[in-house]
């Protein structure tokens, strides 16, 4: 069941103040969504984005939410249901990355908790707030989860991030299958697994064999189209699909040699990024 437009739908985007999240919110506004709800922890930038989108004619609501806090998620979700009602389109985009060190060099153990909470647990808790109403409804509904190609193959200097995205991917695709098994064909889950994107989050990371840093507008364009089409899994670019396929068939030593040779295993050597 393809969704041609989100016009008339109520859309919620996490991590919506900037980067991919802001672009997703712009898409929803441009297509005439009935309401666009923005969640982010950065209050100043969030207010600026909300004002900008409202200026384009969007019916925009914004909430400062720390999605690493389960209670904060529940409180914000209750407020959303009061303000706009049930959500039709949920975009779980918020994420953080810590890197450029080997796991045993981790200095702040809170980074582990934060990464897992935001990248893995938050999409689960947030979806659980809105998915039951989607299931009960009859209109086309979508959950778009931004995972990562780091959830497909192992990668040095980002072990915790990879773990969080492996968890996100496994959960997201399992929920998709559950919905299919239960006969809720009007609700579709799409999982996106891109490589490094030029949002600033992965500054310093290197592209590898035939895999440049992806443009955020291109990632959003593809993700949005695939979400509306209800397609289950999108891996960007094609080299990531190849790496995953080879990882599944090659012996471990051969896999490591291949991924090391094409540059995957050294792509985070000079990572700087930003804490967001």
Which 3 state secondary structure label does DSSP give 64?
strand
Distance CA 137, CA 87 (A): 10
pLDDT for residue 48 is more than 90: yes
Beta bridge partners of 194: 236
Q: Which residues neighbour 16 within 8 Å (Cβ) at sequence distance 6 or greater? A: 22, 24, 25, 38, 39, 40, 46, 49, 62, 93
Domain boundaries in the chain?
Answer: 10-266
Q: What local confidence, expressed as pLDDT, does residue 168 receive?
A: 98
* 125, 161, 196, 265: the active-site residue: 161
Q: What local confidence, expressed as pLDDT, does residue 270 receive?
A: 81
pLDDT for residue 211 is more than 80: yes
Beta bridge partners of 89: 11, 142
pLDDT for residue 128 is more than 90: yes
Q: What local confidence, expressed as pLDDT, does residue 268 receive?
A: 83
pLDDT for residue 209 is more than 80: no
Q: What average pLDDT does this structure show over 34-39? A: 98
Q: What local confidence, expressed as pLDDT, does residue 273 receive?
A: 63
Q: What Rg value do the Cα atoms of the chain yield, rounded?
A: 18
pTM listed for this prediction:
0.94
Band of residue 118 on the pLDDT scale cut at 50, 70, 90? very high
Q: What average pLDDT does this structure show over 233-257? A: 92
Task: Name the fold adopted by 10-266.
Answer: Rossmann fold (3.40.50)
Q: What average pLDDT does this structure show over 244-260? A: 92
Q: What local confidence, expressed as pLDDT, does residue 33 receive?
A: 98
**Does 265 participate in catalysis according to the annotation?**
no
Band of residue 243 on the pLDDT scale cut at 50, 70, 90? confident
Q: What average pLDDT does this structure show over 252-267? A: 90
Q: Both tokens of residue 247? A: 């990882």
Q: What average pLDDT does this structure show over 54-78? A: 97
Band of residue 177 on the pLDDT scale cut at 50, 70, 90? very high
Distance CA 271, CA 130 (A): 35
Torsion of CA 26, 30, 36, 40, to 10 degrees: 0
Q: Which of 1-10, 40-49, 93-102, 121-130 has the lowest mean pLDDT?
A: 93-102
Q: What local confidence, expressed as pLDDT, does residue 201 receive?
A: 79
Band of residue 232 on the pLDDT scale cut at 50, 70, 90? very high
pLDDT for residue 93 is more than 50: yes
Q: What local confidence, expressed as pLDDT, does residue 84 receive?
A: 98
Q: Which of 9-23, 90-104, 118-132, 138-152 has the lowest mean pLDDT?
A: 90-104
Q: What local confidence, expressed as pLDDT, does residue 275 receive?
A: 47
Q: What local confidence, expressed as pLDDT, does residue 274 receive?
A: 57
Q: Both tokens of residue 71? A: 């209670």
């Amino acid at each position: 069941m393809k969704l041609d437009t989100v016009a008339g739908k109520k859309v919620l985007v996490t991590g919506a103040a900037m980067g991919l999240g802001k672009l997703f919110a712009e898409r929803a506004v441009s297509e005439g969504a009935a309401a666009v709800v923005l969640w982010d922890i950065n209050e100043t930038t969030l207010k600026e984005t909300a004002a900008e989108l409202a200026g384009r004619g969007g019916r925009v609501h914004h909430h400062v939410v720390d999605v690493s806090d389960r209670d904060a998620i529940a409180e914000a979700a209750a407020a959303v249901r009061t303000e706009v009602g049930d959500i039709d389109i949920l975009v779980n985009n918020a994420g953080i990355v810590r890197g450029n060190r080997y796991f045993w060099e981790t200095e702040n153990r809170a980074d582990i908790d934060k990464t897992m909470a935001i990248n893995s647990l938050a999409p689960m808790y947030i979806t659980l707030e809105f998915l039951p109403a989607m299931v009960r409804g009859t209109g086309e509904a979508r959950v778009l989860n931004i995972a990562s190609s780091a959830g497909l193959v192992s990668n040095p200097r980002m072990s915790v991030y990879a773990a969080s995205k492996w968890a996100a991917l496994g959960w997201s695709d399992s929920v998709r299958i559950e919905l299919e098994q239960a006969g809720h064909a009007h609700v579709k889950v799409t999982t996106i697994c891109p490589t490094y994107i030029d949002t600033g989050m992965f500054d310093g990371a290197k592209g590898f064999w035939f895999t440049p840093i992806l443009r955020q507008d291109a990632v959003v364009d593809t993700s949005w189209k695939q979400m509306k089409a209800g397609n289950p899994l999108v891996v960007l670019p094609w080299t990531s699909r190849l790496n995953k396929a080879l990882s599944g068939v090659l012996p471990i030593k051969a896999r490591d040699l291949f991924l090391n040779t094409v540059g995957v295993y050294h792509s985070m050597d000079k990572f700087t990024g930003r804490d967001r």
